[in-house]
Amino acid sequence: VDLLQRIRNGLDAVPPLVLPDFGRVSSSVLVAIIQREHGPVVVLTRRSTDLPDHAGEISFPGGRVEPGESTLDAALREAQEEIGLNPGGCQWLGQLDDSHTVTGYRITPHVVLSEHTSAWTLSHREVAEVLEIPVEPLLSRGRGYQVEVSLGRERNTFPLYPIPGGVIWGATARILGQLMDRLVPESSSVQKAIADRRAIAALLAMRSAFITTHVNPDGDAIGSCVAMEELFKTLGIPVTILLDAPPPPDLDFLLTGSNWLAGDAIRMELAADAERMVVVDTGDRKRIGKVAEVLDHMELPPVVLDHHLSGDIEGDVLRDPSCSSTAELVYRLFRTMGFPFRQRTVDALYTGILSDTNGFRYIENRSSPFKAASHLVDLGADATAIQEALYSQISPRHVALSGVVASRILYECDGRLAWSWLTLEDLSARGATADDAGEMAPMLLAIRGVQVAAFFREVEPGRFKLSMRSLKAVPIVGICNELGGGGHAHAAGATVDGPVEKLVEFIAGRCR
């Protein structure tokens, strides 16, 4: 198939990302393709060195969209003004992705096939020269060199394409990269981008929303809820967070200013009050507790944003286990959307990443959680306050219960498996709740020589919540799956019937 046909096919196969302007100036550019003897070329301009902005840089013809004008009309008009390209000789091929610049513009690129053959008529005030860049050699560079640029607190990453006599960078390079992506629509990165934009389109099209997350919510669950709430508020979409039970006190600071309902307020009659539900940090119906009843009675299926390996809720599912946390997934989504990060959003997302990586311990050697966190701190996340809020809040009852758990630890498999337990009586004798017990498995896993930790907490007589943690060499999610539970490779759980000794025998058998 010839290159021009591949461009057409790619534009048809990959839908454009269409974004709100989030208060930025609306602008558009024209990606004009001309079929020359040696193959298709794309028309770029070198901007005049006298211009106040982007002087001497290489860019597509384009500019600000005037009131009442479509983005396509604006792009064609600007191209005519700048280089004398005749709009009548253009055939529209399609639209590339909206993007936001660090300088405050939303750019919509339109791709046209132009029949231009005569000499270019330059507006010398704006344009120094027209560059006809062959598409073929660009393609061999793929996505080019990835360059990150900071301007104030903003950051942006885009490819950089060297061409004879200069480089293409910035928003122009990103748009060119989008065109290159359309030439390989089957590649996994493009397929991932298509999944992203399906979720983004679903979120932007909502008229009212509920947001929910899993029972016993952690910093990632609540942080992701709050970040999504901020998105809907900014878009003017009515939104309420629904929680199975009131949030744990140490996460209260995140929910200040949020609109949320929990516990007895969760009734299935709520289903009529919002158009769709967004489920974050889980994709399992049984993990959202009471809220499942509301979900079941809603007309439209939910949007799921999750970083766990699997889930049974159907709808628009954006699942990415390569993310350390749902907060990291939401951070990436907001970057793609060009959503302007504000204080509440960056605090919520930083909390999610810090919490789910347990203070950057569970990162599986990925750099992405650090990059996201570093950007969020640059954007103003109060890392110190969040650290104190999450990690200086252990209740005296938890410390007392830890003592009980520590005094009972038993070892199997030559000390590689450590396990302990708490009964309902242990809790009631100390006036403690399940929240006071919290996570005990990490304490067991920190013991020298221990590779697998199993902690059992009685939830009703004879029935236990098993929580497991393991070191890298020993994945334990399979064991929890066999027991009817699930989770991550090295942090998983299940609800199981005793006696505990029998269960430990089973686990030890799997660890030998």
Query: Which residues of this chain interact with Mn ion, rule CB under 5 A?
Result: 220, 281, 325-326, 356
Nearer to Mn ion, 336 or 351 (CB): 351
CB of 308 to Mn ion, least distance (A): 7
CB-based contacts of 399, cutoff 8 Å, min separation 6: none
CB of 364 to Mn ion, least distance (A): 14
Q: Looking at beta carbons, which residue is closest to Mn ion?
A: 220
Nearer to Mn ion, 111 or 390 (CB): 390
Nearer to Mn ion, 95 or 326 (CB): 326
Nearer to Mn ion, 17 or 211 (CB): 211
Cis peptide, bond prior to residue 499, ω within 30 of zero: yes
Nearer to Mn ion, 325 or 467 (CB): 325
Q: What is the DSSP string of 183-241?
A: TSTTSHHHHHHHHHHHHHHHHHT-SSEEEE--SS--HHHHHHHHHHHHHHHHTT--EEE
H/E stretch holding 453 reads strand 452-460
- Pairing state of beta strands 260-262 and 239-243? parallel
Question: Which 3 state secondary structure label does DSSP give 134?
Answer: strand
CB of 335 to Mn ion, least distance (A): 19
Give the residue carrying structure tokens 């990436």.
332
Nearer to Mn ion, 22 or 362 (CB): 362
Nearer to Mn ion, 170 or 352 (CB): 352
Which segments of 19-169 does DSSP mark as H helices, in order?
71-83, 135-140
CB of 325 to Mn ion, least distance (A): 5
CB of 508 to Mn ion, least distance (A): 29
CB of 217 to Mn ion, least distance (A): 10
CB-based contacts of 244, cutoff 8 Å, min separation 6: 215, 262, 263, 266, 288, 289, 290, 291
Nearer to Mn ion, 356 or 458 (CB): 356
Maximum C-alpha span of the chain: 90
CB of 193 to Mn ion, least distance (A): 23
CB of 326 to Mn ion, least distance (A): 5
CB of 253 to Mn ion, least distance (A): 18
CB-based contacts of 46, cutoff 8 Å, min separation 6: 56, 57, 58, 127, 128, 129, 131, 166
Question: Which 3 state secondary structure label does DSSP give 503?
Answer: helix
Sequence letter at residue 396: P
Nearer to Mn ion, 170 or 283 (CB): 283
Nearer to Mn ion, 326 or 351 (CB): 326
CB atoms within 10 A of CB 408: 12
Nearer to Mn ion, 78 or 220 (CB): 220
Between CA 219 and CA 259 the distance in angstroms is 17
Dihedral (Cα; 360, 365, 369, 370), 10-degree rounding: 80
CB-based contacts of 61, cutoff 8 Å, min separation 6: 29, 30, 32, 43, 45, 75, 78, 79, 82, 83, 85, 127
CB of 430 to Mn ion, least distance (A): 29
Sequence letter at residue 315: G
Contact 314, 199 (CB under 8 A): no
CB of 191 to Mn ion, least distance (A): 24
Residues in the chain, overall count: 512
